[in-house]
Amino acid sequence: MIRSVICGVGSALPKKSLSNDEIAELVETSDSWIVQRTGIRQRHIADDNETTVSLGIKAAQAALANTGMTVKDIDCIILATSTPNRTFPASAVEIQRALGMRHGFAFDIQAVCSGFIFALVTGDAYLRCGAAKRILVIGSDTFSRILDWQDRTTCVLFGDGSGAAILEAQEFEGTSADYGILSAKLRSDGEYADKLYVDGGPSTTQTTGYLRMEGREVFKHAVGMITDVVDNCFAAVEMKPSQLDWFVPHQANKRIIEASAKKLGIAKDRIIITIDQHGNTSAASVPLALATAVQDGRIKKGDLIMLEAMGGGFTWGAILIRW
């Protein structure tokens, strides 16, 4: 049985970091207010010469370097982003060009904060059907470009960044002891499309627009939606949360993360948390957290890992992986 194995990860962050105290100079807020409600202490903000594409290139190069691969080994690039450099062509092809990759194919996928999860599942499908052997999956966003910096309810939450993973098709027995993606569950419900959105677009306002969010509505639904897809992933392979080594959640809000883990019965010391340093980086959130935990040695070969995310749409999903 073909399984999609993550054989390498990489990440990239803008050079500039912005502390809560610095944000408090822009809007009426404070470090204690932000930390208490979100868990965020700082975030990285892209300079004018840093973009979704440039960050994605750096994350991709890091992932390739960490696996000892070159672009010649990659058949496809999937970029998850809601902040492309241009409406078209896809930012993925710009990354493809920068990497010197003249073969294969590249495209963008848009599921907001759930984008990396959706992109991994898409890549998994391509590998299992034989359309590719190795896929570079990237989550890259520069949400600072779509923030209303006068709106303290949103501008304190988000940061910029990029993370990447290389998926490789490998043959296994077809049991829960296999390495790679063991199960996945994706969901969306357009009934909530106006709860978290950008108030602009090329076909409507002909402007980029700003991020708008009904925070209480998002919080109200987040824990239930997240735990539902996580439970589905475990059930699909007849496993339980107690068997999990690491929980790698979307880094949106520490209270949501901890409430979800508590409902699932996952101990706090099994949760990978990077929100304090990165803020919510949308599609980059999960791969950034994953890369951090791999690079610092917490995640080791054979570990059972759950990735999950929820984003605008609403979209949400989870993936169970044997590392």
Q: Please give the positions annotated as active site.
A: 113, 250, 280
Provide long-range contacts, Cβ within 8 A and 24+ apart, for 93-99: 94/53, 95/53, 95/56, 95/57, 95/60, 95/138, 98/53, 98/57, 99/57, 99/60, 99/61, 99/71
Give the residue carrying structure tokens 């994350």: 59
- Distance between CA atoms of 34 and 125, rounded to whole angstroms? 39
Cis peptide before 89 (omega within 30 of 0): yes
What residues contact 50, with CB distance under 8 A and at least 6 apart?
14, 15, 142, 160
- Distance between CA atoms of 179 and 175, rounded to whole angstroms? 9
Judged by DSSP in three states, 198 sits in strand
- Distance between CA atoms of 126 and 133, rounded to whole angstroms? 8
Q: Do the Cβ atoms of 260 and 227 come closer than 8 Å?
A: yes
What residues contact 18, with CB distance under 8 A and at least 6 apart?
42, 43, 44, 45, 159
